[in-house]
């Protein structure tokens, strides 16, 4: 098993900064996902780990071995590309055995029989043992996906890298293959980096999720951490649903109070350890729709009043859209509220569920003392000879 450590990575393409200031430790045997919108740098980061790109700056370690300049075929990584990259005119077996024929262990090639056995094992693992003689163009999308996975696994890699492996599959097959990947990953205990832009997929499959935006990893944590303790507005918005109401900090203590439109005061918590909130600072009061209720549940609950402008009945619940001043907000209520468009509504949110978040993404992270992105932070790793 391999631990992957990324230190202060940066990769540019001409003017484009594809990814920057990436500091992460991907634990051995875990499945970590890179999650974020199109163009945020997921593939770039994965290719840096694979060795297809050399970073402009920073270092990559597999365990204690630095691999920053090591070419891909010497890193013992198995990779599934965003578009599979299978050879359509070749058989399943030939596709899967290709990498193995090139591989040397201690300078020795694999024997024909060893290759045959390993290919069979890899195809069995992805439940494709019977289709080895088929050509790729005779396979369905899901089957091609399995072949791509078998090809990545056959070399018995220390690290498995999967770039949106399910993006070409229909919903049902996605689910099925997702379970398969999880099964295989756990069975082999192989350190895996999985790229997706689907937050639901990321939450369901991952031990840890790195949420990326504009080339930066804004947060790296367990699914529960990133949902319950988002470190930036972007993370809160990208993971699950969130209502954001603009506010200005009124007081900072055990809790944080912020003034929101129409002179209402909201009291909430911070999800960011050590963030130095200041009175007068512009913030966002973030609430999950399920944390806004029609009835008061605790003495200290926040009271938020707004005007209903839309209701959507979704069977077992009602999505309520309302405006607080100019700000649109959303709540998830029971199906029988009787609320109508134009009604004034007062909703209650427990203080423990309201998250007060600073405005900005990376700029806000830089203000946290000791954060790797804070300019005052010491270098992440001091060389041994200093
Ligand atoms: N070879 C390249 N040459 C120039 N620019 C590139 C190259 N590869 C990526 N980029 C740019 O770098 C940024 C990050 O691209 P990347 O492919 O890593 O994004 P991504 O998160 O994988 O997106 P997607 O979800 O669409 O696959 C984008 O702005 C992209 O246009
Ligand atoms: Mg990509």
Kindly report, residue by residue over 247-291, the tens digit of the pLDDT.
999 999 999 999 998 889 999 999 999 999 999 999 999 999 999
The list of the chain residues with pLDDT below 70 reads 375-386
Judge if 265 and 315 occupy the same domain. yes
Angle at 151 between CA 135 and CA 44, to 5 degrees: 115
- From 41, 52, 217, mutation site for ligand 1 pocket: most ligand atoms within 8 A of C-beta: 41
Per-residue confidence (pLDDT) for residue 40, from 0 to 100 = 96
Whether the full predicted model's pTM is greater than 0.85, yes or no, is: yes
> Are residues 324 and 304 in contact, defined by beta-carbon separation less than 8 angstroms?
yes
Tell me, using a 6 A CB cutoff, whether residue 113 lines ligand 1: no
Tokens of 199: 């937050």
> Are residues 20 and 10 in contact, defined by beta-carbon separation less than 8 angstroms?
yes
Which residue has a Cα nearest atom 18 of ligand 1? 41
Judge if 158 and 252 occupy the same domain. no
Assess if residue 373 is contained within a domain: no
Assess if residue 306 is contained within a domain: yes
User: How would you classify the pairing of strands 243-252 and 256-260?
Assistant: antiparallel
Judge if 73 and 217 occupy the same domain. yes
Task: Please give the number of the atom of ligand 1 that sits closest to the Cα of 44.
Answer: 18
Q: What is the number of domains present in the chain?
A: 2
Alpha carbon of 43 to ligand 2 centroid (Å): 4
- From 10, 19, 34, 44, mutation site for ligand 1 pocket: most ligand atoms within 8 A of C-beta: 44
Asked which of 194, 228, 262 is the last residue of a domain, the reply is: 228
> What's the CATH number where 262 sits?
2.40.50.140
Judge if 162 and 52 occupy the same domain. yes
Per-residue confidence (pLDDT) for residue 82, from 0 to 100 = 77
Alpha carbon of 83 to ligand 2 centroid (Å): 10
Assess if residue 383 is contained within a domain: no
User: How would you classify the pairing of strands 77-80 and 159-163?
Assistant: parallel
Tell me, using a 6 A CB cutoff, whether residue 196 lines ligand 1: no
Residues with CB under 5 A from ligand 2 (ion): 43
Domain limits for position 122: 4-228
Task: Please give the number of the atom of ligand 1 that sits closest to the Cα of 14.
Answer: 4
Per-residue confidence (pLDDT) for residue 99, from 0 to 100 = 82
Judge if 94 and 179 occupy the same domain. yes
Judge if 124 and 94 occupy the same domain. yes
Assess if residue 376 is contained within a domain: no
Residue 300: name the closest of 337, 257, 252, 330 by CA. 257
Strand partners, 212: 217
Tell me, using a 6 A CB cutoff, whether residue 13 lines ligand 1: yes
Judge if 10 and 115 occupy the same domain. yes
Alpha carbon of 37 to ligand 1 centroid (Å): 11
Per-residue confidence (pLDDT) for residue 375, from 0 to 100 = 67
Assess if residue 385 is contained within a domain: no
Asked which of 196, 228, 260 is the last residue of a domain, the reply is: 228
Indicate the length of the chain as a whole number: 386
User: How would you classify the pairing of strands 31-35 and 191-196?
Assistant: parallel
Per-residue confidence (pLDDT) for residue 126, from 0 to 100 = 87
Alpha carbon of 343 to ligand 1 centroid (Å): 46
Judge if 145 and 262 occupy the same domain. no
Per-residue confidence (pLDDT) for residue 246, from 0 to 100 = 92
Assess if residue 357 is contained within a domain: yes
d(CA 239, CA 226): 7
Judge if 52 and 196 occupy the same domain. yes
> What's the CATH number where 122 sits?
3.40.50.300
Per-residue confidence (pLDDT) for residue 358, from 0 to 100 = 97
Judge if 221 and 163 occupy the same domain. yes
Judge if 341 and 318 occupy the same domain. yes
Task: Please give the number of the atom of ligand 1 that sits closest to the Cα of 36.
Answer: 21
Alpha carbon of 39 to ligand 1 centroid (Å): 5
Judge if 46 and 177 occupy the same domain. yes
Tell me, using a 6 A CB cutoff, whether residue 44 lines ligand 1: yes
Assess if residue 375 is contained within a domain: no
Assess if residue 128 is contained within a domain: yes
Tell me, using a 6 A CB cutoff, whether residue 151 lines ligand 1: no
Tell me, using a 6 A CB cutoff, whether residue 18 lines ligand 1: yes
């Amino acid at each position: 098993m391999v631990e992957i450590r990324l230190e202060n990575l940066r990769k540019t393409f001409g003017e484009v900064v594809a990814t920057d200031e990436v500091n992460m430790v991907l634990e051995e045997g875990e499945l970590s996902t890179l999650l974020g919108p199109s163009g945020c740098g997921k593939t770039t980061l994965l290719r840096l780990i694979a060795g297809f790109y050399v970073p402009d700056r920073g270092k990559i370690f597999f365990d204690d071995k630095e691999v920053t300049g090591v070419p891909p075929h010497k890193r013992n990584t198995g990779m599934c590309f965003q578009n599979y990259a299978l050879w359509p005119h070749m058989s399943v077996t030939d596709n899967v055995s290709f990498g193995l024929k090139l591989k040397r262990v201690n300078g020795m090639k694999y024997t024909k029989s060893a290759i045959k056995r390993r290919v069979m094992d890899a195809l069995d693992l992805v439940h494709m043992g019977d289709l080895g003689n088929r050509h790729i163009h005779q396979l369905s999308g899901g089957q091609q996906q399995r072949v791509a996975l078998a090809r990545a696994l056959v070399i018995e890699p220390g690290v498995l890298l999967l770039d949106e492996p399910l993006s070409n599959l229909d919903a049902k097959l996605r689910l099925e293959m997702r379970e398969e990947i999880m099964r295989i990953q756990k069975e082999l205990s192989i350190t895996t980096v999985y790229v997706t832009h689907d937050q639901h997929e990321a939450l369901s499959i991952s031990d840890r999720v790195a949420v990326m935006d504009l080339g930066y990893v804004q947060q790296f944590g367990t699914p529960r951490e990133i949902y319950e303790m988002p470190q930036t507005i972007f993370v809160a918005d990208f993971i699950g649903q969130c209502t954001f109401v603009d506010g200005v900090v009124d007081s900072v203590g055990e809790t944080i109070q912020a003034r929101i439109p129409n002179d209402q005061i909201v009291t909430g918590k911070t999800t960011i350890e050590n963030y130095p909130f200041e009175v007068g600072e512009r913030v966002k009061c973030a609430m999950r729709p399920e944390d806004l209720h029609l009835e008061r549940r605790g003495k200290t609950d926040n009271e938020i009043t707004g005007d209903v402008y839309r209701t959507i009945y979704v069977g077992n619940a009602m999505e309520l859209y309302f405006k607080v001043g100019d700000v649109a907000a959303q709540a998830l209520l029971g199906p029988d509220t009787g609320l109508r468009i134009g009604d004034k509504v007062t909703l209650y949110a427990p203080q423990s569920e309201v998250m007060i978040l600073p405005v900005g993404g990376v700029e806000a992270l830089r203000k946290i003392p000791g954060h790797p992105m804070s300019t005052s932070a010491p270098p992440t790793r001091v060389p041994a000879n200093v």
